[in-house]
Amino acid sequence: MDLHTLRSDMVRDQLQRRGVKDPAVLAAMEQVPREAFVPERLREMSYQDSPLPIGEGQTISQPFIVARMIERLELTPKDKVLEIGTGSGYGAAILSRIADTVYTVERRASLAEAAREKLDKLGYDNIHVVVGDGSLGWPENAPYDAIVGTAGAPKIPEPLKEQLSVGGRLVLPVGTVPEQQVLIRLRKKAEDRFEQEEMEAVRFVPLVGEAGWR
């Protein structure tokens, strides 16, 4: 089966059919080759409706979840975005097609390195990958118009709230047990005022770090 066709089918059957509407998100999901971010031996499974293992016990998220979370960020083309948990680099690639600049933090050096290599090869040159504890954000480039976390936190890390610009949106899986969360969206209304919404139930790997799980 041709991966191109499978990608278009995924956009229609997994995203549009479940209510993903943002045209920029749909276009990015149609454009970025997910097969480039999954392990070689799983290539034919690239457009399956599920997460896939990428090594080190980590996963590339289900396409629908990637699209849903990014849609929740309400991005514009001039936005500066911070992603916590680079993993395979797929989410960063999607973000980079919609926003102006993407900063992404990964705790595991080998994953960050592999992601950087793939993103370079694909020519996505508005993405900056760093190895570090993303529960502390990436203060040097703050503030961000949007922050998205792809690992589950016990609560919203304070540094991320601080590094969000006024008017900015943060989307993060939050849960009181490490592998089961609810998607939370925070809007920063003023320096010390946030509006919080609870969205769908999700399952992400834990956010391990100083302001995450120990």
Contacting positions for ligand SAH (CB under 6 A): 58-61, 84-85, 87-88, 90-91, 105-108, 111, 133-135, 150-151, 205, 207-209, 212
Residue whose CB is less far from ligand SAH, 69 or 186: 69
On whether the CB atoms of residues 5 and 44 are closer than 8 A, the answer is no
The nearer residue to ligand SAH, 134 or 175, going by C-beta atoms, is: 134
Burial of residue 185 (number of CB atoms within 10 Å: 0-12, 13-18, 19+): middle
Alpha helices in 122-173 (DSSP H): 158-162
Smallest distance, Å, CB 141 to ligand SAH?
A: 15
Q: Tell whether omega for the bond before 173 is within 30 degrees of 0, i.e. cis.
A: no
Q: Single out the catalytic residue among 8, 46, 50, 61.
A: 61
Residue nearest to ligand SAH (CB): 87
**61 a catalytic residue:** yes
* The pairing of beta strand 144-149 with beta strand 58-60: unpaired
d(CA 125, CA 169): 24
Choose between 137 and 168: whose C-beta lies nearer to ligand SAH. 137
When the beta carbons of 114 and 193 are compared against ligand SAH, the nearer one is: 114
Contacts of 154 by beta carbon, 8 Å cutoff, 6+ apart: 174, 175, 176, 178, 212, 213
Residue 190 beta carbon to ligand SAH: minimum distance, rounded to whole angstroms: 27
For the annotated catalytic residues, the residue numbers are 61
